[in-house]
């Protein structure tokens, strides 16, 4: 069984995502398409626009056979760790292909540049460290290092840098995984405005929810978005900020071991919180040359969720299924000796110590999200998993 994987957020699932999965399946002639998808909190350090189950259902409606949840301690990290830990898990699923989007370049040129960068990775790391020592954030330092190394800027975008991290992680974990870079259509990842009649970035769709976005999404995904908006609306970031302030200022829980922490940020936060009545004001004040907005937001969530750096050292061996069809059941049979499959509450009984720590991490995030959208707790135990007999395109 040939297995294709795509690491995703689908926040929301749009036409560009549908193009990516269709094109990847056309290229690979794969037997099974897997999405490793962020849960209710995504890499920008924000609550997702739509809950993980609705997004997983949309993915299953539009070409995927299996959607599994990415633990939030992975999704709430920088591109380097995000990619490495994701591919580490997908390698346990014995994937054959990893497809991902790229910008500004065709696939062959991207692969050629990536091969050069991986071959001389020590030089790239030296350049990155040079800029970090000059007090740039890791993200900015990586951008500047790439610019110096390549002598060009068209490669440098957040999407391409994440794609490069996938390539580096594959080279370290399992070079036999075949990378399938696919150039985006119509819009780049960071585009804020809708410029195309059919394709738009997730960012621009989220910024234009009151506009005419129906044509930019498969019908099933659009209907799930509208239904979720009607029932829950947006996650309440001011409530999130109140939880953060309580834990930080009243409980005085230490922050030093939290993922994304950098020395001195806790003392800096104490100063800012005295004059920051709102979430947005706090974030704006906390951002600096050294610390990006995404890093600050990720740190806040990791701190609230008690996500410690030690989570990166755990060897967990299970996948939490969000949606699947009959084709995926063969995979379950093939991997059951190596990985535990968590679909229902009773499956938790088979988890060992490290597995349980990761599972509890995922459950805490789900319940925090429930608190922010006014949804009942422990939805993970009560929400019915989508199981489809066959794939039917919408």
Angle at 50 between CA 48 and CA 56, to 5 degrees: 105
How far does CA 144 lie from the centroid of its chain?
24
- The answer to whether 61 touches 68, Cβ cutoff 8 Å, is no
Residues comprising the binding site?
Answer: 7-20, 101, 159, 184
Residues comprising the binding site for ATP?
Answer: 7-20, 101, 159, 184
3-state secondary structure labels for all residues of the chain:
CCEEEEEECCCCCCHHHHHHHHHHHHHHCCCEEEEEEECCEECCCEECCCCHHHHHHHHHHCCCCEEEEECHHHHCCCHHHHHHHHHHHHHHCCCCEEEEEECCCCHHHHHHHHHHHHHCHHHHHHHHHHHHHCCCCHHHHHHHHHHHHHCCCCCCCHHHHHHHHHHHHHHHHCCCCEEEEEECCCCCCCCCCCCCCCCCCHHHHHHCCCCCCHHHCCHHHHHHHHHHHHHCCCCCHHHHHHHHHHHHHHCCCCCCCECCCCCCHHHHHHHHHCCCCCHHHHHHHHCCCCCCHHHHHHHHHHHHCCCEHHHHHCCCCEEEEEEEEHHHHHHHHHHCCCCEEECCHHHHHHCCHHHHHHHHHHHHHHHHHHHHHCCCCCHHHHCCCEEECCCCCC
- The answer to whether 262 touches 288, Cβ cutoff 8 Å, is no
Spatial neighbors of 361 by CB under 8 A, at least 6 apart, are 71, 72, 73, 305, 307, 311
């Amino acid at each position: 069984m040939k297995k294709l994987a795509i690491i995703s957020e689908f926040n929301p699932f749009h036409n560009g995502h549908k193009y990516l999965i269709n094109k990847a399946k056309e290229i690979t002639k794969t037997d099974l398409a897997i999405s490793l998808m962020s849960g209710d909190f995504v890499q920008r350090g924000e609550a997702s626009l739509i809950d993980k189950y609705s997004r997983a259902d949309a993915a299953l409606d539009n070409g995927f056979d299996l959607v599994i949840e990415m633990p939030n301690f992975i999704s709430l990290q920088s591109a380097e760790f995000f990619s490495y830990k994701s591919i580490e898990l997908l390698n346990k699923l014995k994937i054959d292909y990893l497809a991902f989007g790229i910008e500004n370049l065709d696939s062959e040129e991207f692969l050629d540049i990536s091969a050069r960068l991986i071959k001389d990775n020590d030089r790239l790391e030296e350049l990155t460290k040079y800029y970090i020592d000059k007090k740039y954030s890791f993200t900015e330092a990586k951008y500047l290092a790439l610019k110096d190394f390549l002598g060009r800027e068209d490669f440098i975008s957040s999407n391409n840098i994440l794609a490069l991290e996938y390539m580096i992680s594959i080279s370290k974990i399992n070079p036999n995984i075949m990378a399938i870079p696919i150039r985006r259509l119509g819009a780049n990842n960071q585009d804020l405005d809708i410029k195309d009649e059919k394709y738009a970035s997730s960012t621009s769709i989220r910024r234009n929810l009151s506009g005419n976005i129906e044509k930019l999404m498969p019908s099933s995904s659009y209907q799930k978005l509208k239904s979720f908006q009607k029932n829950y609306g947006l996650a309440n970031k001011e409530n999130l900020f109140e939880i953060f302030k309580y834990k930080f200022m009243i409980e005085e829980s230490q922050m030093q071991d939290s993922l994304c922490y950098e020395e001195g940020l806790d003392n800096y936060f104490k100063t800012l919180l005295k004059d920051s009545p709102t979430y947005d004001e706090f974030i704006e004040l906390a951002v600096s040359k050294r610390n990006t907005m995404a890093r600050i937001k990720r740190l806040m969530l990791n701190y609230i969720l008690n996500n410690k750096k030690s989570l990166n050292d755990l060897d967990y061996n299970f996948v939490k299924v969000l949606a699947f069809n009959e084709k995926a059941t063969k995979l379950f049979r093939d991997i059951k000796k190596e990985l535990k499959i968590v679909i229902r509450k009773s499956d938790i009984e088979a988890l060992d110590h490290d597995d349980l720590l990761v599972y509890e991490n995922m459950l805490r995030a789900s319940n925090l999200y429930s608190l922010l959208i006014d949804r009942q707790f422990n939805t993970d135990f009560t929400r019915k998993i989508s199981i489809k007999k066959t794939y039917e395109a919408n």
